[in-house]
Structures are given as structure tokens and as C-alpha cells.
Structure 1
Amino acid sequence: MNLCFKVVIPARYASTRLPGKPLLAIAGKAMIAHVCERAQEAGAEEIVVATDDQRIFQAVYDLGINVVMTRPDHQSGTERIAEVAQQCGWAGDEIIVNLQGDEPLIPPSMIREVAVALAGQKLAGIATLAAKISHAEEIFNPNAVKVVLNKAGYALYFSRAPIPWERETFTQTGGKPSEGRQYLRHIGLYAYTVDFLNRYCSWEPSPLESIESLEQLRILWHGEAIIVNVVEKTPEAGVDTQQDLMRVEQALLLKC
């Protein structure tokens, strides 16, 4: 499929556990450089790193990667991406993939797949991914966000709680799901149109997103559709801790 899409990579210096995370070295190069390589491998026509920190701006610029300085008062990466689209003068129908700067192991196929999911959409201005949950304990893990879809593949709701709740089965089995029941874990990779981003930035935060601490619930609250493609498996986790850094480095070295 001949698809044109851009990738914006929000990169912040502040991190409670790993300050300066995007610039940390993994297998001989900065983490942000690995993430940009995944975007290139996915076939993005343009890649932009978005930051509000001069240290990251300079380091990324020195790597020869396109970087944009954004305002420091954004409440989310989505708002930061909207500012990038405005600064770059991108057209309203352009597709932008939001790729987090701490995901050096993200499969390039997933970056492209979320863009493909949005291409040609009439109803949704945003697309995301999900994968089947294979371990029952993950259903009850609040760090694993679950999503329920309608028959057309659009999101009905996202939650940290087990959804759908099997009233009879969970009561009788103490939390074991029915045989063959499919639960979906949300994968936090998004594609948007520029027009959608402009609408999003005009909305107030919703009560639901505050309760669940899930930004995507603002979209459903305001009546917009989210198309969800189901992929084979959840990608490797990103980097949040020093242990994650070591795990990712080993994985990348094995690929070399």
C-alpha cells in the first residue's frame, strides 16, 4: 500500500526514575536515535522529534535528526504533536503517528499498521492498536489498559479495570475468565489526522480521563470515534527504569 504518513516523537528530559531518558546511550547510540530508526524502517516520509528541553533539542540536532522546540506548558504528548503540526504547516488530512521516545524496540510494522488503520477512514480521525491478552493475571493488572470494541472495530471504552466483567464466571471461579473469552490490551500507539488534533486541543479534559488516568477517554467523552486494529501480540515494553535500559540494550545487541 502506497501510504504517506509522518512520525512525531515527543521527548521530554524530566523523568522521575531516569532523567534525560531520550539521551541515554543504548548499544552505542542515544535512545532517541534508535526510536527514529524504527520510524524510518516503518517507511515514514518525515520524522520530527518534539521537545521542550534545550539539551534534547541540541543533542537531536547534532544527530542530524529533525527536531522542533515546543512550549513547556502542554498537558500531554498529543497537544505537543498538535503544536508541531501547526509549526510545520501540515495539511488537515495528513496522518501523524505519535511514537514515544522511550520505545526503541517498537516493531516498525506496528508503526505502519496504525497509520494504515487510519488511512481512508470516514468516521474516525484517530487510530490505535490492541492485542489479545494471553495471561489471565494481565486482565486484573491496572497497568495493563483494556479496551472493548464494537462489531465494526471502534472503541467502546478503555479501562484499567477488567472489561468486559464476567459477572457469573468471575464470581464462581475467583477471577478466571471463561474458556475462549477474548480480552484486549490497548497498545499506546496512535495515528491522528491534523484536523483531529486541532479539534482535540479545543476540548476540556473529561471526568472519565481523570478517574482512570487515561487520556484517550477524552476522545470518547466528546463523541469521537477511535478505530482499533488488533495485532498478534503486545510489543516489548519501553524504558522506564535502569533495569529496562539493560533489558533493551541486550535485545538490541542481539539484533546486531
Structure 2
Amino acid sequence: MDDWCQVPLEILHWIDTNKWGFGIATSVLGGIVLLAVPALRRQLTNTWRVVRERSLNCISFVRSLTLTTKSSLYRDTGTDPAEVPSRAVWVAGSYGDDSTSDQEKKFAGQVARLLGSELAKANITVVVGESDVLYELCNTYRRVSNLHGGARALMVHGSLRHEDPVGFLGSLLVRPPTVLIVIGGQIGGRTIEEARLARQSNVPVAAFIRSGGAATKVLADFAIQDSESSNAVRDCIGWVRRTAPA
């Protein structure tokens, strides 16, 4: 028992005889820890954010592969756009490009998910172009629609090719929609072109936009700026119901 107590007693004796040095060393070590912990925490947070973002991108890609059933997709490769239901609401948008900030991309994704949910609850058929943010809208729309039933999300492919008369952009020319909703953080050139075509055809345009940048070029009849709340999306749905012809 005495042998077991020998080491702790020696340590206590050393601390007592070197208490100033021990105190300084402890203070320095404590300061290093206090400085290192926030930096380590920030690094871990940033690493987790990157891993989470990449995981969500992978999940979105896998989900997009499931959007290939005939019941949930409208492929216009050679199909007459007139087959799109006349009461459908068209949605355009994108996450932007490499210069688009994370906040703007987050804004676009949040709006897309909320819009998909509320449109499905309202039993409104949706026609969308082909982009990552619109895949998010369709995924949410389909999950909610499975609970409420009735409406469909129709995806028009080929919207990335301006010169191709077939696709979302071409369909806007062939058959103007009843209403066009534009979503995006920093709205890209393609989306601006789609909104401009809609306005030229006297199609009412609603837009969820961020302050500044290319988004300000979109002349919307109903604009919601810097708000991705559920109430803002419901206000947009209300505007669609009031604006769309009976």
C-alpha cells in the first residue's frame, strides 16, 4: 500500500517545491488549449459542412436518377408541348455557377423545396426545366404529392441548349405557359432568358430573387426578395391562383 502511495506523494512534493514553475506551465498550457479549441472546432465545423454538402449533392444526384418513371416525367423529345396541361404552372431556375455564393445557393434550394411542397399541397401540376435546383423541387413535390395525390411534376429536358427548339426554352416559344415562377439565388443567364421570353408572350412572372447581381434584370410581376420562408411561398401560390386564368 505504501509503495502504491509513493508516486503520488512524490508528484505532490515536486509540485509543492516547483509551484511557480508548475503554475506558469499550467497557465501557458491552458492558454494554448483555449486558443486551439475554437480553431479546432472551426476546422471540424468546416470539414463537416463540406462533407455534408457533398453528401447532399450525392443524395440529390441519386434521387434525380429515380425521376425517370413515365408517370413523373414529361420528356419533350419529339413530343408536342401542347400535351402539357393548360393549367400547369411552369418553374425556371438554377443554383447559379461557380461564382455564386453558398448563401445564394442555399436560398435557391430552400425556395425550391418549399415551392415543391406547397404546389403539391395545392394540387397544382408543375412543369420545370432541367437543373439541379429543379430536381430538388421535383423530389419534394413528388414526396408530398404521394400523400395528397392528384397533381404531377413534369420535367422538360433539354433546357440547357439555347439553340435547341426542343426543351424548356423551346417550349416557352411554342406554347407560352399560364404562369412562370423563377427561382434562384444569383439567377443565371438562361433563367433570365426564359423569364424574358415569358414576358414577351405576356405571361405573368413571379420571382424569388436575391438582392443585387444578375437577378435584378428579371422584371417580375410578383417579386419576393431575400425571403425563403413558408409564408413567402404561400403568398406566391396565392398570387398564382389569383393571376392564372380560370
Q: TM-score, normalised by structure 1?
A: 0.30
Q: TM-score, normalised by structure 2?
A: 0.31
Ranked by relative contact order (alpha carbons within 8 Å, sequence separation 6 or more), the top structure is 1
- Relative to its length, the structure with more helix (as a share) is 2
